[in-house]
């Protein structure tokens, strides 16, 4: 199995996930994880997906404000990403990562991804009643696709 990237859209109700293809060209929806009011409760389940799917890089959405500054949500996303890195590196877990090392983690500006996700779902003629559970996954797809598109083939990625 080739290495894939994981896109993560954090939310208090659900955390949306997206995976890339092994060629790192296209992102596709990979489900939601129920957050029960706190996305920090989802870290272990996200690590399970990372292990199961052979993820080599994780892209976490960074919800900047429209003017580009960081508010509460962006700071929370940074803390979540740092906790993910810490948890994957902890010695008390026997994790099975690709190449035996935890994947790298980066943050991707996600301004307007939820708006774009709703528009894409409407264009796909999916009823607005069905949007809520799907919009988190579609936002994760948009976050991941943006990261894939901006990646130059020989270029590395930014860590947290």
Q: What is the pLDDT of residue 43?
A: 96
Residues 84, 120: Cα–Cα separation, whole Å: 29
DSSP string, 4-46: EEEEEE--SSEEEEEEE-TTS--EEEEEEEE-TT-GGGGHHHH
Alpha-carbon distance 58 to 105, whole Å? Answer: 5
pLDDT in tens, 4-44: 999 999 988 899 999 999 999 999 999 999 999 899 999 99
User: Is domain 4-150 in CATH 1.10.3210.10, yes or no?
Assistant: no
Quote the pLDDT of residue 115. Answer: 58
Which pLDDT band holds residue 74 (cuts at 50, 70, 90)?
A: very high
pLDDT of residue 66: 78
Q: What is the pLDDT of residue 148?
A: 94
Q: What is the pLDDT of residue 157?
A: 44
Does position 57 have pLDDT exceeding 60, yes or no? yes
**Averaged pLDDT score across all residues of the chain:** 83
Task: Say which residues have a Cβ less than 8 Å from residue 130's Cβ, sequence separation at least 6.
Answer: 121
Angle at 26 (CA atoms; ends 149, 113), nearest 5 degrees: 65
The residue with greater pLDDT, 128 or 81, is 81
Q: Phi/psi at 33 (nearest 5 deg)?
A: -120, 130
All structural domains of the chain with their residue ranges: 4-150
Supply the pTM of this predicted model: 0.82
Q: What is the pLDDT of residue 133?
A: 65
């Amino acid at each position: 199995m080739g290495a894939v990237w994981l896109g993560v859209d954090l939310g208090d109700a659900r955390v949306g996930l997206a995976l890339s293809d092994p060629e790192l060209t296209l992102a596709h929806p990979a489900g939601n994880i129920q957050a029960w009011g706190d996305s920090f409760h989802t870290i272990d389940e996200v690590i399970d997906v990372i292990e199961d799917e052979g993820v080599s890089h994780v892209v976490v959405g960074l919800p900047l404000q429209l003017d580009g500054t960081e508010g509460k949500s962006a700071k929370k996303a940074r803390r979540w990403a740092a906790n993910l890195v810490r948890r994957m590196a902890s010695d008390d877990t026997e994790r099975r990562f690709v190449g035996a090392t935890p994947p790298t983690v980066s943050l991707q500006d996600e301004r307007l991804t939820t708006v774009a996700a709703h528009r894409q779902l409407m264009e796909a003629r999916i009823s607005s009643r069905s949007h809520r559970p799907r919009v988190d996954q579609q936002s994760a797809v948009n976050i991941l696709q943006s990261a894939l598109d901006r990646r130059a083939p020989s270029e590395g990625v930014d860590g947290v």
